[in-house]
Each structure stands twice: as structure tokens, then as C-alpha cells.
Amino acid sequence: MIVTLVYWLSLIVTLAIGFVYFRDLGDVSQMVLKVKRSNMLRFIRHEYTFLIIGGVAFAVFTVVQFLFSVGPLWIWLFATALVVLLYGFPYIWVHVGLRNQSKVAEFVSIAEARAYVAPSNQVLVMENNGVARAHPQAQLLRPHLAGNDEGLNGENVIMTYCAMANLGIGYTPEIEGETVDLDVLAQHGNNLVLRDNKTGEPVQQIYGFRERDIASDQSGPVCPMRPTLAMRPWPTFRMTFRAFEKAYPDGTVFINKPSSNPILFLFDMALEMLFAASIERQHREAKPVMDNMTHYDERLPNKTYVWGIDIDGDAVCWTDDFVIDQGGLVNATVGGRPVVAAWDPRFESLGVWYNDTGESVQEIDFFGDSPAGRLERVEGLRPGLFWHVWVEFFPHTDLNRLDDAEADTAASSRQA
């Protein structure tokens, strides 16, 4: 009686943990299942503890099966196949398929990158005192993180990228002077969920701080308890590869070159085909491919690209066509700070800068140069992400904000 109870109990435990593992971190499971964020975060925090418990339960089940012949062999064979699928798929998917390049990324010259990147491809760019790095979206698709020990002109920065959100943000991977060890684990709300392996804490890419450090308010968990508990975002902007070549002829480009290991080469090729098909659908269809969203906002179609910033809890985003319709430049105040957003047609890029000149800016170029001097890029810009993702994490966002004088002028123009 006791042996039979142990047999079935161990089987139930190992399969239950395996199912939850597959559901919460299997990623593709979210195409058909709704995964609660709280459940996913729990498994991210305790992944290896759960795996050990599930492994021990399966070992007990196997021992009882063969020592006491409690159940028929087909039950063990079927259970073993399920365990291999439920445990093996998410583990290999997360820890092999999504292995990041936060410390080993290779950056090549523009001349070499031309073999991998088409002129009109979108690249995510970070710059430090004239030294610039471009990160083509297709090259970031699977590793999600790109950086190396050299840093960006001596600065420790990495590019984080979520294809489901169409969002790239550069971060200094440090919190209160301590380096964080980021790993790719999952997505929720169509945005990348990382883990700081030093603490086991989840990190939502769009926010940049650990889950345990959230200071919740009426707008949701958009801020950490202290500003120092967030990774420092690095000014990140979008442009085409051809524009990057014009702006930074000596710049370097991240290239995710194929593995020299033939098994990994074939595995990576298959995964990238799967990723490409899913992301193409994400860009093509109005409904999110993985629909675990909690907020919707009909002011814009879901897949509209927006450029969003959040200053002291005041969230605002703009669309590129709105800025272009305003003559390519808008002035606004966000979180009490004047900013200017401008589209540069030559470099095919929308940027947002802090305006500390004391008056409205009427002219600014791609590099931030204005008649009053060079302005500083807003470091927290999320450039060109999907509208439905932005409102998922900043549901009280304002849209296409203008200063009062510009708003009055725009209203008059519409009436005319």
C-alpha cells in the first residue's frame, strides 16, 4: 500500500512540475496557453529548485517501478517520454537556444557587416563620445543580449532586445555598483523577462530593475523603490544600416556569426527559422502572437511603432508620422522636464533630447546640435516598440504630447 502510494505520488509530482515548467518557460506554450505573470516569476526565481524536486521524484518513481514492479512497464515508458519532453524542451530552449552574448559578442567593421546586413535593415545604435555600435535586429533575434568586455569606448554597456516587443534598450548591467549577471528566460506581456543569476530575480526588460525592487503605485510597477535599484539605460536610437554608415563611418556592427560546432549550427539554424516565422507574424497581424496582455488601448492600432519615455512617472510616447506631420520636430514637457523630439530624414531616425536651453527648440540635427548648443539624448527612450506593448507596461501613457503653444498652432492648422 505504501509502496503504491509512493509510486503514484512521485509520478504525479514529477509530471506536475514538468507541466508547469513547460507552461511557464516553454515560450511556444504561450501561443496556446495563458500564463499568469506571477506563476512565471515564481518558476524563474526557483527554476533549479523545482528541477531538483522533479528529478528526485522521477528517480523515486523509477526505483519503485523496477524494484517493486508496482505498475506496468508501459506507464514508466510513457512517463519517461513525457518527462523528456516537459523538462528537456524548455531547458534546452532557454539555456541553449536562447544563450546570450552579453560578454562575448563580436563587433565587425561596416565593410564586413555589409555581407550580413542590407542597407535598409533597421539597426539599434548606442554611441559614446563618437564611438558607435549598431545592432541589426535580425542579428539580435535569438541571443537577445549583446556586449563584451571591451565595452563601448570603455563603458560597460550591453544591448538588450525583445523581438516580440520590437524593443531594443542599452543598459549598464550594474545595480548600486554591483554587476548583474543577466540571462534570457521568458517573455510576458510581449516583453522580454530576464533573470539576474546572482540573485535569481526576474528583470522586465522595458523597466530595467529587479522584480523584488518594485515600488508599486497607482500607475503600476513602473518604478523601483530607489532610482539606484534600476540599471542605467544608455541612450538608444533606431536608424537604417545605410544611415548608420553615413553617420558613423568608423562604427562597428554586431554580427551573430554561426557556431563552428555542427550540431549547434543546425540547432541554431532551425531555431532562427522558427523565430523569423513567429516575428514576421507578430509584425503582420493585429493580434499579438502570444496574447498574454492585460491592457488594450484603441487610440492606435496594436502594431503601431511608438517612441516612448517615462520621466518621474509621467509616460509619453510619439509616433514617427505624427512628428513628421508637425514639421519633423515637437517640443513637450515630460515629468517637469522640457524635451524635444525630432525626425532626421537624412539619417532616417527619430530622437528625443532633453531641452535645457530655457526656450522652445526650433532646429536640431541628428547629433543633437541646436543653435543653443548640443543637447543630451534622453537615456530612457524606448525607440520604435509596438504600441500594444508600451500601453501594457505604461497604461496611463499620454500620446503625441505637444507644448501648449505648438498644440494651439496644430489645432489651428487642422481647422484651416
Does 372 share its domain with 332? yes
Measuring CA to CA, how many Å separate 62 from each of 13, 71, 233, 288? 13, 10, 50, 41
Residue 416's pLDDT is 40
Asked if residue 174 is part of any domain, the answer here is yes
Per-residue pLDDT tens over the stretch 152-184: 999 999 999 999 999 999 999 999 999 999 999
Asked if residue 213 is part of any domain, the answer here is yes
Asked if residue 216 is part of any domain, the answer here is yes
Does 120 share its domain with 246? yes
Per-residue pLDDT tens over the stretch 287-297: 999 888 988 99
- The Cβ of residue 131 has, within 10 Å, a number of other Cβ atoms equal to 16
d(CA 346, CA 247): 9
Does 343 share its domain with 372? yes
Asked if residue 76 is part of any domain, the answer here is yes
Residue 276's pLDDT is 85
Asked if residue 83 is part of any domain, the answer here is yes
Has residue 410 got a pLDDT over 80?
no
**What is the signed CA dihedral for 370, 374, 379, 385, rounded to 10 degrees?**
30
Q: Of 205, 232, 247, which is closest to residue 349 (Cα–Cα)? A: 247
Has residue 286 got a pLDDT over 50?
yes
Residue 411's pLDDT is 47
Does 113 share its domain with 248? yes
Per-residue pLDDT tens over the stretch 115-143: 999 999 999 999 999 999 999 999 999 89
Q: Are strands 398-399 and 314-318 parallel, antiparallel or unpaired?
A: parallel
Question: What residue numbers bound the domain in which 206 lies?
Answer: 107-254
Lowest-confidence range among 40-54, 201-215, 270-284, 314-328? 270-284
Residue 415's pLDDT is 45
Has residue 107 got a pLDDT over 80?
yes
Mean pLDDT of 266-278: 88
Instruction: Supply the mean pLDDT for the chain.
Output: 93
Does 150 share its domain with 30? no
Residue 220's pLDDT is 67
Residue 412's pLDDT is 47
Does 123 share its domain with 231? yes
Asked if residue 116 is part of any domain, the answer here is yes
Per-residue pLDDT tens over the stretch 48-86: 999 999 999 999 999 999 998 888 999 999 999 999 999
Does 312 share its domain with 359? yes
Has residue 194 got a pLDDT over 70?
yes
Among the three residues 97, 118, 135, which one is the final residue of a domain in this structure? 97
Give the number of domains in the chain: 3
Has residue 303 got a pLDDT over 80?
yes
Running DSSP on this structure, what letter comes out for residue 257?
A: P
d(CA 270, CA 97): 10
Does 77 share its domain with 124? no
Asked if residue 238 is part of any domain, the answer here is yes
Does 140 share its domain with 48? no
Range 83-86 contact pairs with CB under 8 angstroms and sequence separation of 24 or more? 83/14, 83/15, 83/18, 83/54, 83/58, 85/18, 85/22, 86/15, 86/18, 86/19, 86/21, 86/22
Per-residue pLDDT tens over the stretch 197-254: 999 999 999 999 999 999 877 566 788 989 999 999 999 999 999 999 999 999 999 9
Residue 309 in grid coordinates: 519615455
Does 196 share its domain with 124? yes
Residue 52 in grid coordinates: 531538483
Does 312 share its domain with 201? no
Which H or E run contains 137?
helix 137-140
Residue 60: strand, helix, or coil = helix
Among the three residues 47, 75, 97, which one is the final residue of a domain in this structure? 97
Does 53 share its domain with 127? no
Burial of 172 (0-12, 13-18, 19+ CB in 10 A): buried
Residue 405's pLDDT is 58
Has residue 414 got a pLDDT over 80?
no
Contact 364, 329 (CB under 8 A): yes
Residue 29's pLDDT is 82
Mean pLDDT of 32-46: 92
Extended strands (E) in 76-166:
107-109, 122-128, 131-136, 145-146, 158-162
Asked if residue 81 is part of any domain, the answer here is yes
d(CA 68, CA 386): 57
Per-residue pLDDT tens over the stretch 323-360: 999 999 999 999 999 999 999 999 999 999 999 999 99
